[in-house]
Chain A
Amino acid sequence: MDAIHINSTLPFFAKRKDGDYFTEDFTLYNTIISALQWRKLNGRIFMCTDSTGAAYYKRLGLESVWDGVLDIIPADMEGIDPEMFWAAGKLLAMREMKGDYALIDEDFIVWKKLSLSETAVTAAHREDINPDVYPDPELFCADFPLLKRLDKKILPCNTAFLYIPDEDFRRFYVSQSIAFMKSSRSCGDYLCHMVFAEQRLLAMLCGLQGIEIETLLDKDRLFVSQDDYTHLWGAKQALRDNAEYREKFLERCQNRIISDFPEYKFVIEAIENQPKIQ
């Protein structure tokens, strides 16, 4: 099965007005292991990005990590607020990508060969409806009439991994999600609108159309030991905040690349030579 990684650089520049684009080292290591591990067991994987992202991977010499680096995300994200909707690039890339593929977040690794449903949507796992993260959709700063017709009781899906086998349903989800983002007004929220557009709306639209959802993991057992999937998730913040965590993690990533993918050892030098987190 094919897969895609997605990286839109516009949210980076919304926060940092000056300087060149870069990805944090721990994310980049994780992305590379994710791509190489997917190619090892499951099939091809492509990096979908914008022109700045494509130039960045080329400059670092990382293009061969994927089966292709595709410059398909509009650089201006079609006017969508990049701070409010920092993951909008995922939806814009999915709109452009045809055919059968899974979407894998850069901080997610699949360690086993997957066999997925050919009819149901597969997501990483469900999430509970925490009102701090998933407030009542009627409170959103958006003029999106479909909201009032959606079932608020359906649990959101974490889309760090997402496979939608029905291409027409994928277009339905992607279109409605982009429409929601374009219908939203900037209001100082940088979390709830985004995760609604990406994660909760997906589950609600599945409910509206009678599409089943399967998950890779049980949401109530995420932190129970398992060896099939890695998701950095909130650990990214811990890695920023704790230098000791970060150093040990980077060392483990380097060792993993050297042991499992020795022909890609060159990426370590490329990553170490790029700017560090300020």
Chain B
Amino acid sequence: MKNSNSCLFLNGVKAYNIRQLRENFDTDIIVGYLLGGGLTQWLFEIGETEILKRVREIDLAGGDFDRKLEFIFGVKPDPKPQKIVFPNIPREVRLAVFAAKENGFDVGDTSSYKKPESVTSFSGSAGSFVRGSFSSGSFRLVKTSFFFGSGGLSGSFRPTSGGSFSFFMGKTQLTAEEYQRTKINLSSCPLNEYGYGIHRI
């Protein structure tokens, strides 16, 4: 059943329909909705079955979600791989365009390039390429460094030691009554040192 009260939270804005989604398109958040399952739920609820079908066709084990979503919602051109035609564009620029596309960088329509004599820069629809480096757009560096050792951490909680508990108490203002009750409770249930309220059981 169609529910027009259902919305997506974008960056400080709520989208109740596709028009509002497009006007406030926030790729980072919408990709999150896609991977987390909320996007298909919402499209179903608002009755957008055609778009829902296309979103469901996205392979969640793949990648390039941002460009695929931008295309489906009509905010960017078709991201499908296309045969690249270079009309009289210098070799350096062609190589740059090729490299950009290989790296998932949207360079827009390459046929609109108008300055064949200048080979140091060009602009695409989602960013720019200047002297061999990407300066903006959807290109992302992939982190390769891990900070965790091979052993890692385990468990869900590090039990508070007696020492740190005392410190905790030391910075907490207690009334005399609270102090007495706390002393009684801790002595009656030592587990309270690791959790709280366990004396109630």
User: B106 to nearest A CB, angstroms?
Assistant: 15
Q: A224-B178, A234-B159 are in contact. List 12 more A-B contacts (CB 8 A).
A: A91-B36, A146-B29, A171-B41, A175-B33, A175-B37, A178-B37, A187-B148, A188-B146, A192-B148, A229-B197, A236-B157, A238-B159
Interfacial residues of chain B within 121-170, with CB under 8 A of chain A in the complex: 140, 142-143, 146-160, 165, 168-169
Interfacial residues of chain A within 13-60, with CB under 8 A of chain B in the complex: 30, 33
Instruction: Determine the chain B residues whose CB is within 8 A of the CB of A139 once the complex forms.
Output: 147
Q: Known contacts A209-B12, A226-B196, A249-B201; decide if A95 and B36 are in contact (CB<8 Å).
A: yes
Interfacial residues of chain B within 3-37, with CB under 8 A of chain A in the complex: 6-9, 11-12, 14, 27-29, 31-37
Instruction: Check: B174 CB closer than 8 A to any chain A CB.
Output: yes
27 pairs across A/B with beta carbons < 8 Å? A87-B156, A109-B200, A109-B201, A111-B197, A139-B147, A145-B31, A171-B41, A174-B37, A175-B38, A176-B33, A179-B36, A183-B35, A187-B152, A188-B151, A192-B153, A221-B172, A223-B193, A225-B184, A227-B197, A229-B197, A231-B197, A232-B198, A233-B195, A233-B196, A237-B155, A237-B157, A253-B201
Q: Known contacts A191-B156, A223-B165; decide if A178 and B185 are in contact (CB<8 Å).
A: no
- For B14, B42, B184, B201, the residue with the greatest tally of chain A CB atoms inside 10 Å of its CB is B201
Q: Which 3 A-B pairs have the closest CB atoms?
A: A175-B36, A175-B38, A188-B152
Q: Which bracket fits the contact residues of A? A: 35 or more
Q: Are B194 and A235 in contact (CB under 8 A)?
A: yes
Q: Are B197 and A109 in contact (CB under 8 A)?
A: yes
Instruction: Check: B182 CB closer than 8 A to any chain A CB.
Output: yes
Instruction: Check: B107 CB closer than 8 A to any chain A CB.
Output: no
Q: Are A232 and B172 in contact (CB under 8 A)?
A: no
Chain A interface residues (CB < 8 Å from chain B): 30, 33, 86-87, 91, 95, 107, 109, 111, 132-133, 135, 139, 141, 143-146, 149, 168-169, 171-172, 174-180, 182-183, 187-192, 194-195, 208-210, 217, 220-239, 245, 249, 252-253, 256
